[in-house]
């Protein structure tokens, strides 16, 4: 469901994407509204599910998480039960930063962030491959991250 946004909403969302720690007063200065108007708009955007939450952007390398891998998974047996089990497993794995269901040759693409190659090997060999439904796993390791801001493109509405 698409939510109708006006120019102030788009400016508010852009400012929050850039820095979610801004107060309503600071946001008001940026988008030319009062703090109470910002608060009301922010609450409506949260209630509508446009703003899903707030979190700090952490530097993986500073935390010793130096390996980013993209892991493609193909299931052998396609059933609702196998898909449910796989999804639940993936959702419970903190190393999985993103998980997507795909069209084409691969069923799923996972973005995994870990400390080292041994940790990646453990995830692939001890968690993914032993799953009954998993037929094939293909991984690619990122050599360098060129962009990782996860900012949505907010055009004018």
What domains lie within the chain, and their CATH numbers? 7-47 (1.10.10.10), 61-141 (3.30.70.920)
**Per-chain mean pLDDT for the chain:** 95
Q: What is the pLDDT of residue 111?
A: 98
Cβ-proximal residues to 33 (8 Å cutoff; 6+ apart), any chain? 8, 27, 41
Q: What is the pLDDT of residue 131?
A: 92
Query: Does the pTM of the predicted model rise above 0.85?
Result: yes
Token pair 């900012």 is found at: 151
pLDDT at 156 over 50: no
pLDDT at 157 over 80: no
Nearest to 14 by CA among 108, 116, 153: 153
% of the chain surpassing 90 pLDDT: 90
């Amino acid at each position: 469901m698409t939510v109708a946004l006006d120019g102030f909403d788009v400016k508010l969302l852009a400012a929050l994407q850039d820095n979610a720690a801004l107060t309503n007063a600071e946001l008001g200065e940026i988008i030319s509204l009062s703090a109470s108007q910002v608060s009301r708009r922010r609450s409506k955007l949260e209630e509508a599910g446009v703003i899903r939450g707030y979190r700090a952007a952490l530097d993986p390398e500073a935390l010793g998480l130096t390996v980013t891998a993209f892991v493609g998974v193909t299931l052998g047996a396609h059933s609702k039960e196998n898909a449910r089990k796989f999804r639940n497993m993936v959702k419970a794995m903190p190393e999985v930063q993103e998980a997507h269901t795909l069209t084409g040759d691969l069923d799923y693409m996972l973005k995994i962030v870990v400390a080292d190659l041994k940790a990646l090997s453990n995830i692939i060999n001890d968690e993914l491959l032993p799953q009954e439904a998993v037929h094939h796993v293909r991984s690619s390791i990122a050599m360098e991250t060129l962009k990782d801001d996860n900012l949505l493109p907010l055009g004018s509405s």
